[in-house]
Structure formats: C-alpha cells, structure tokens
Amino acid sequence: MGVVRTVFTDPQPGRGEGADPVTTEIVRQGLNAAADHMKRSLIRTAFSPIIYEALDFAVAFYDADLCMLAQAPTLPAFMGTLGFCVREAVEGVGGRDALAPGDVILYNDPYGTGSHPQDAAMVVPVFHADELVAYAAIKAHWLDIGGKDPYCTDTLDVYQEGTIFPGVKLYDAGRLVTDVYRMILANSRMADMVIGDINAMVAGARAGAEALSAIVTRHGADVFRRCVARMYDHGEALVRSWFAALPDGVYTASSVIDSDGVSGVPVPFGVVVSVEGSRVEVDLTDCPDQVPGPINCPLPSTVAAARLAVAFLAGAGEQPNEGHFRALELVTREGSLFHPVRPAPCFMYGIPADHAIELIIRALGDAVPGVPAASGGDINALVWWGNREGSGAPWADGAPHPVGQGASPRGDGASALMYISESATRFTPAEVWEARNPWRIERLALAADSGGAGRFRGGLGLDLSFRCLEDQYLTAALARTELAPWGRSGGLPGRPNRLTVDYPDGTTGDYALKTRIPLSKDAVVHLRTGSGGGYGPPAGRDPEAVRADLREGYVSEEYARRHHPHAFPA
C-alpha cells in the first residue's frame, strides 16, 4: 500500500475579496457564539457525566464544502476528525441530494470518525432558501455501544469494538426512524443513559443549526460566504506567518509506545517535520505496519494530531477554522500504525495520536525558541462499570485525568492539567463521582517531587486513590508508563504514569493497558499521573523559587537539596 498525502485547501481560493472586515469579524464571532450555544445545549441536557462533567465531546460547524467554520472550546482531539465524520455520514445516506430539512444523521464508523465506535457523530444539515449551506455536528462519547467490553484495550479487530452505524438517518425530514432507534437500544448495556445522551446530541445539533441559520439569514448567503472566505484567509495568513519566520529545514524526533495492548511488545516510531517557506509537512511514514492490538490510529485522528500540534505552536490562541490548516500537509502510509486499514483494531487510537503530538512539538524544538519540555503525555483514561448492589442496575462512568505540563524558558510547567488533546475537557469533581458511583476518594493531591527538576520545574502530576465500596470492573488505559517525560536544554525528566491496585487480600496489581480488571469491595486503586519535564540545568534555578516550592509543598527538602544544593549555602 502506498504513501498518501493529505492537504487542506479551500476548493475556491480568493472568494473573500471585497468582504467587509467588520462584517467578517461579526460573522466569525457569531459562529463562535453559535458553536458555544450548541455546546451549552448539549451539556444542559446530557445524561452521562462523561459528557456533562468531563466534556468528552466536540461541536463544530462545517460549510457546504466541508471546511470547518467554527468549533467551540471542546475536545481538541476531535478537531481534525469532525470534517471526516460529516463527509462520511452524508455519503452514507446517499450524498447531498439525499438530504432534507429535519434530517439528523448518525455515524460512528471508526475509519471515518478516527476513533472507537463509542465516539459517535450526529450531523444536521443546515438549509437557507432551500439551499444546503452548512452542517452542525456533534461527536460525543457514549458509555456503551455493544463492544466486547464498555471500554477495550485488547481488541483484535474493529468488529469487537462496538456496533457500527455507517451513516444512517436517525431522523428523516424530522421523523424519528424507529428501527434505528430500536437498534441502538438493543446494542447497549446502558441503553437508558445512551438514549438520553443521543437525545441531548440531537437537541444540541438542532440548536446549533438554528443559530447558524440565523447568522446566514441576517447577512444573506452571498455576504456570509465572502466573510467566511476572508475568515479562512486570515487563519491561513496567521499560521503561515509563524512558519515563515522559522529556518527552513527538516526536523526529526522518535520515541517508543509502551505496548500495543495485546503483544506487550514496544512500538517505536518517528516523525519528520519539514519547513519550507510558510509551508509545513508532517511525515509519519516512519512507523510500523498496523499492529495486532488496538493502538492503530485511523487517518482522521492522525490528521487531528498534526492539526493540534500546529494549532498549539502557531494558532495564537484563536479558535481555529479551516484556514488555520492550509499551510499543513500530512504524509502517511496506508496499512501502517498511522493509516491502518479495516479491520485493524483501533479502540486505543489516542495513544499514538497523543504521542505524535508530543513528537511533532519536540521535533520543531530545534527550530522554535521556547518549545516546552514533555508533559505526562497521556489522558490516563479510566472506565468503571458494574451492577449496583441491591438493585442490580447497570452503571458505568469514565474520565480522563490530568498530568503535569513541561517547563519552558518562560517558567515552570503547569501542574495537573489535561493533556493537550483533551485540554478543553474537565476533571470530574470528587463530589460528583462519590454521589453517582460506588467509590470513595481517599486521596486527591498534587504529587510532591514529581516534576522534572530544572532552571524551570516541570508541572506536578496528580495522586488519586479510589476505594471501591462495591464489587465492580475497571479498564485502565494508560500510556507513557515506561517512558519518562523528557526535559529540554539540560532539564531533568519527570515521572511516568502509573496505576496500581491494592486488593483486600494484601496483594497488589500493576496495570497500564488492561481490560475488565475485577475489583472487589475495599480494593483501592491508586492512579499516579505523569509530570512535566524540566527546562534548563537545575543549578540555574533561582534559590528563592526553590524556597517557594518548599513553602508550597511542591517539593520536599530532600528533593530540593539533591537537585538545587546552591539554594542551601553552608
């Protein structure tokens, strides 16, 4: 299978000429506000904490050419994938000519969404004067959709990972398609929760479509299109100016993924980033063929990883649109880790995607002043489920968990923040967890001494301990448990991620990628999330900063004396 080059270009460049800049900004901010309205509608109506607390979803608008108009601050990892979702969903129902006002399309094929089947997309076409002008789309995580387990780290093909809906109308011209609805109910262990979340997604996507339609109606379709084209041009100019300021060159980085979840064998790969003028090419062909376990990363999520790295470095903190990615070209190889083909399993696609983000940033560190050291580099996902004592009712919950961020020449790394791919998600409050689930949180604290030492210290990881109050199951989906987050410019590495279980019989288990871990009542699960690497030699740290860390409890005296003896004059 050959090499594939993916580029992101407007099919009709130059359409923004003559657009009024003030009107363009009004349209841009209106689209961002409409996307946020869609986000808020979903949060207010969702049933599952993984949506309304953890915010494991993304919402966005796409124009009729499938270019991204706007995305609310939601799950960044879905940023590059929703366009693929919309395209495949529309093709699945017969193309644009098969669409009508009131349609709602369901799509969750992993090779089109880029993720596991639990990450399902809902797409609503938006019409103005009987003309298709845009799409409102939501992609959110369902608690269960009939996979071998609610969350899997050991699947051998995509068919074990959940029920697939390859583009079907859930609503046809406003009418519920009851056969599809019944199929969803029949293929979920938590049908009531999933149906509640589906209804919330439909309501949110419809709310977004109405808000977007109002913007088009206010300005007229022609003015709207010209403003959008100018908006794309601005995003493109912003990113191109950033890359144009870099030295042309070829920059590389390589690393190793702990395991594919099945064979236990480490998986090495590399990235090549080429900068030429204002153009950047990310080449991920230096990787193994698709692997037996479910860490294969479908093309849409590989695209998302490259886009996220570019947005992190060059996006200037703006909410992105399609124009921000015109400078980027992505090179992959079909049949490989970053461009697998069916039926390769891909449930844990996020592990190589997150690793690739970190490596792209690391590679450009040779050209870009101020690139930070590595972070904990993973979302440390845990998914729990079981049947409640007494009632026997099924339950499930899951969440990502924060890591320490890498230090930079501007200062210490931030402590206990979500990894960049999940940076708009939230860490579920302990009170919500304890109210809904059979756990007690016995420890939740910043991990002293975990940050990599340096002139600037890496951000701290988190120590979490859950005591099980009932028998239940846990799937642990941790990566970067072997590889310590690297420092930069003489900074020391941080700590890797780790999960252990203390069982009531006195035994202990140590897990990374493990499905359906049985947890008896009074078992205690200890999650230790990774920290950030340090920046610069530890001997260069300001002695007052060392003393401040001691006062705040970020480091122990032993750590401070070992790494910063200059702060303790005789």
Contacts of 391 (CB under 8 A, 6+ apart): none
Contacts of 283 (CB under 8 A, 6+ apart): 271, 272, 273, 274, 331
Dihedral sign from CA coordinates of 322, 327, 333, 339? negative
Strand pairing class (381-387; 328-333): unpaired
Q: What is the pLDDT of residue 14?
A: 58
Q: What is the pLDDT of residue 49?
A: 85
pLDDT in tens, 291-306: 999 999 999 999 999 9
pLDDT in tens, 34-63: 999 999 999 999 998 889 888 889 999 999
pLDDT in tens, 187-231: 999 899 999 999 999 999 999 999 999 999 999 999 999 999 999
Q: What is the pLDDT of residue 53?
A: 86
- Residue with tokens 């993924």, as numbered in its chain: 257
Phi/psi region, residue 345 (left: phi>0; alpha: psi -120 to 50; beta: rest), is beta
pLDDT < 50 regions, the chain: none
DSSP state, residue 539: G
What single letter denotes the amino acid at residue 121?
Answer: A
Give percent above pLDDT 70 in the chain: 98
Closest CA to 123 of 105, 111, 140: 105
**Is-contact 453 564, C-beta < 8 A?**
yes
Q: What is the pLDDT of residue 95?
A: 95
End-to-end CA distance of the chain: 66
- Burial call 518-547: b when 16+ CB within 10 Å, e when fewer: ebeeebbbbbbbbbbbbbbbbeebeeebbe
DSSP state, residue 69: E
Q: What is the pLDDT of residue 550?
A: 96
